Amino acid sequence: MDTFRQDELDALISCPKEISEAPKREMRLSGAHWRNDATLVASNDLKGEFTMFMRRNEEFPENFSIGLTYHPHDGRDGITLLRCNGPHGCYNSDFALAHPHFDYHIHQASGDAIEAGYAAEKSAVKTMEYASFEEALQFFVKAVNLNAKDAQKYFPAGTQIPFSFNE
């Protein structure tokens, strides 16, 4: 099997997951972004693992991305399934203010995008589900079905992800 079907993509996003490699206690500054990652595995018998990535621009903290990438163990390449983003302006020289990138938005993997030769998560839609990095993180852990114990331990609601300023 070379590609991913839409039902498979949707199932990968929503299957129950748990943390196998915890995120660091603090985000680390690398280049212009604060970064942190975690490794997740499916709670069922799914083969492969997931990377949860968190990025936040140092200068413009409203410009962030929280995403999920799947790394199958069946010979297929990894694929980004979901990205919850903050506003970051124009994209691909499209300067329309109505474009999703000018607001909080979500990228979700699409079988149609893959078949057309694009990145799986190419398209984006505006969202009212969150209006900050912290809210997006809470939305994300629910959307990817992270088990409640791990979500509470590593991403408790109402707290901010600490940044280290001692680089």
pLDDT tens track for 89-121 = 554 444 444 444 568 999 999 999 988 888 898
User: Does a structural domain hold residue 160?
Assistant: no
- List Cα–Cα distances, 67 to 45, 70, 125, 135, 139, in angstroms: 22, 10, 15, 14, 11
Among residues of the chain, what percentage have pLDDT more than 90? Answer: 60
Q: What pLDDT score does 124 carry?
A: 87
pLDDT on residue 94:
47
105 inside domain:
yes
Percent of the chain residues topping a pLDDT of 70? 84
- In this structure, is residue 24 part of a structural domain? yes
Q: How many domains does the chain have?
A: 1
Amino acid at 135: E
Kindly state whether residue 161 falls inside one of the protein's structural domains: no
- Would you state the pLDDT for residue 82? 97
Q: How confident is residue 4, by pLDDT bands cut at 50, 70 and 90?
A: confident
Q: Is residue 71 part of a domain?
A: yes
Asked whether residue 158 is assigned to any structural domain, the reply reads no
Residue 7 three-state SS: helix
**Structural domain range at position 49:** 6-150
- State the pTM of this model: 0.85
**Bridge partners, 39 (sequence order):** 21, 51
Q: Is residue 68 part of a domain?
A: yes
Q: What is the DSSP string of 94-128?
A: B--TTSGGGS-EEEE--HHHHHTTS-TT--EEE-S
CA-angle at 15, arms to 12 and 16, nearest 5°: 140
Residue 165 forms part of a structural domain: no
**Would you say residue 11 has pLDDT above 60?**
yes
